[in-house]
Structure 1
Amino acid sequence: MATLTQLKYVIEVSNRGSMNEAAKRLFISQPSLSKAIRDLEEDIGITIFERTNKGISLSMEGVEFMGYARQVAEQAELLESRYMNAKPSPQHFAVSTQHYAFAVNAFVKLVQQYGQEEYELALRETKTHEIIEDVKTLRSEIGILYLNEFNSKVMSKLLDAANLHFHSLFTAKPHIFVSVQNPLARQSKVTIEDLEEYPYLSFEQGEYNSFHFSEEILSTLSHKKSIRVNDRATLFNLLIGLNGYTISTGVLSADLNGHDIIPVPLDYHETINVGWISHKNAMLSKLALAYVEALQEATQKFDIV
């Protein structure tokens, strides 16, 4: 029978992705932590973590086990805080997302509503493949990405193989983001031909630089001028400094991004289905459910198809 302490150990190792880092956070030695987890694995008859020379990761059985472990630990914390006058444990939640302002807005609302004196949260704006891996291994409970006609077959197959489910948030028509100083900003809509002389900005996808993992639709188009970046702030700075453009949903946040960048409709017959992914074998935590609700509130007005 697993003890609550063992469950907390497993959760910490999963959160850290490192036995050594988890041991430091738990204030125990790494050999003691390793032994406690091996004892648990022997007791329940499964391998929770796969150990290789590259590090440690959850096994397929471990992913399912973690879903239950997190629920038990969360319920235990509620009991302690309700009946034993114990100090609430720091809250944990992580989301991995493509570079969307509404995902940040929802995260801000989550912290404002549910942040205790202590919490440990993570918002990872990252590459598409890493979003899928993060949710697959429960490093993040929620992932945010999009599907469209071009990538849906490949992406759906990957999500199924990872035991993940896609939940649609909104469907949008394609837009470009440009500086208010860009000549294209004065047009009611732009065509592909209008964009030819302007620098095209896109997000780097690393070793998984497949067209299907691109954050931007129409990823197979060739461009005379092309720049790849890693973060949203850099991309927006280049939109302004170089009169560049990027292709996205048209959803912006003036609160976060100011008024220097605006969306302009792109005259192209295509739709973008933006949604969130979760693991089929893991029940969402209270914070994850609250974040999904914040996402829905932040995007309900953006279903513009």
Structure 2
Amino acid sequence: MTLQNMKYIIEIANQQSISKAAKSLYLSQSTLSTAVKEVESSLGITIFNRTNRGITLTYDGEDFIKYAKEIVQQSDYLMNRYQHRNYIPMRFSVSTQRLPFAVRAFKKLLETLNLSGYDIAIRESPTHLVIRDVAIGKSELGILALHESHLDTIKKEFAINDLVWNELDLLNIYVFIRKEHPLAHRPMLSLEDLKDYAFVTYDQELNSSQYTEEIIFYEILNKNIHVNDRCTKLALIRGYDCFSIGPDLPNSNADTFHKGLGGIVAIPLKESVEPLHVGYISRLNTNLKPMAKDYIDLLKNEISNLADR
């Protein structure tokens, strides 16, 4: 049984006539009759009842047509998907921790594109998934912000996966709270100041928590709210008296459902904490595509703006 035979039988069922189907497909009736007999013989069923008035589907025939249509539709989808991709002039993918400046650089990359077609992606993921995406070739670049004390350890993981670390800058750490927060007027904040407020933190797998882009771990704080994505974190910080700590968490006015909840302010953290090393990973001995290089230039600009803050 072939895919082509399935298509023939589906057309016969649609036309309710072998002669009409033959005319529609520009084939001989004998070719279609042979196709039907081959499928019926291989499956051990009868697909059509043949009468002087034409043909009708048997019970098995109706069941066969249902599944044959699904198979043909899936086949057509695969053909269209990958034949189309052959004509796409540019493909690019980047994976990143939940780093707003990486998303802003991607947005600016989109604004520069003047192509008839492209297939690009940005994936916000926990650290270990960023590493995996680049290692298996799912993404060309991986954007990371890493703790200085764990940098040597994670570099060993890069080496095991044949990845290269390219450092771009060091970023300072801020406390992010909404403008209406009781502490928003202060020029600096300490962890002691924040002890009565909830810390919004990203979930990380236990074996990779030291690789988080967040400079302070939730274990040392009394009140913690765990989230999986940046939009949820933004919504919580904008709507309640909780806080986040890191290098970047900009105001977001894209979600119209949260109008009136106020913006977010960045206040320096009083404690002396290690800066985050920001950079990107790529596969060893692999030349970057032009779009990847353009993205890195835009990323450098976004990071420079943060470093100058």
TM-score normalized with structure 2 length: 0.66
The equivalent residue for 1:133 is: 132
- Give the distance between the partners of 1:132 and 1:181, measured in 2 at CA: 38
Q: Which residue, out of 47, 54, 79, partners 1:27?
A: 79
Tell me which residue corresponds to 1:117: 116
Q: Distance in 1 between matches of 2:279 and 2:137?
A: 18
**1:221, CA displacement in angstroms?**
4.3
Report the equivalent of 1:196: 195
Q: Which 4+ runs in 1 deviate beyond 4 A? A: 22-26, 253-259
Encode CA deviations 1:226-279: one digit per residue, 9 max, x unaligned. Answer: 111111111011112221111111463667699701111111222111111111
Alpha carbons 1:173, 1:304 under 8 Å: kept: no
Consecutive unaligned residues of structure 1, counting only runs of 5 or more, are 1-21, 29-76, 78-87
CA contact (8 A) 1:171 1:304 kept: no
Is 1:289–2:293 an aligned residue pair?
yes
Q: Give SS of 2:285's match.
A: coil
Give 1:277's aligned residue.
281
Question: Matches of 1:197 and 1:141 in 2, distance apart?
Answer: 42
1:179 aligns with 2:163: no
> Partner residue of 1:235?
233
1:55-85 deviation per Cα after TM superposition (whole angstroms, max 9, x unaligned)? xxxxxxxxxxxxxxxxxxxxxx9xxxxxxxx
Shift of the 253–106 alpha-carbon distance from structure 1 to 2, 3 Å rule, reads farther
Identity in percent: 32
CA distance in 2 between counterparts of 1:271 and 1:237 reads 26
Aligned length: 228
Q: In structure 2, do the counterparts of structure 1 residues 162 and 253 end up closer, same or farther at CA, with 3 Å as the change threshold?
A: farther
Q: Does the Cα contact within 8 Å between 1:110 and 1:291 map onto a contact in 2? A: yes
Tell me the TM-score normalised to structure 1 length. Answer: 0.67
Q: Which moved more, 1:129-138 or 1:99-108?
A: 99-108
SS in 2 for 1:210: helix
What does residue range 188-227 of structure 1 map to in structure 2 within 5 Å?
A: 188-205=187-204, 207-208=205-206, 210-219=208-217, 221-227=219-225
What code does the residue aligned with 1:276 have? Y
| 1:287 counterpart letter in structure 2 | M
2:158 aligned residue:
159
SS of equivalent to 2:238:
helix
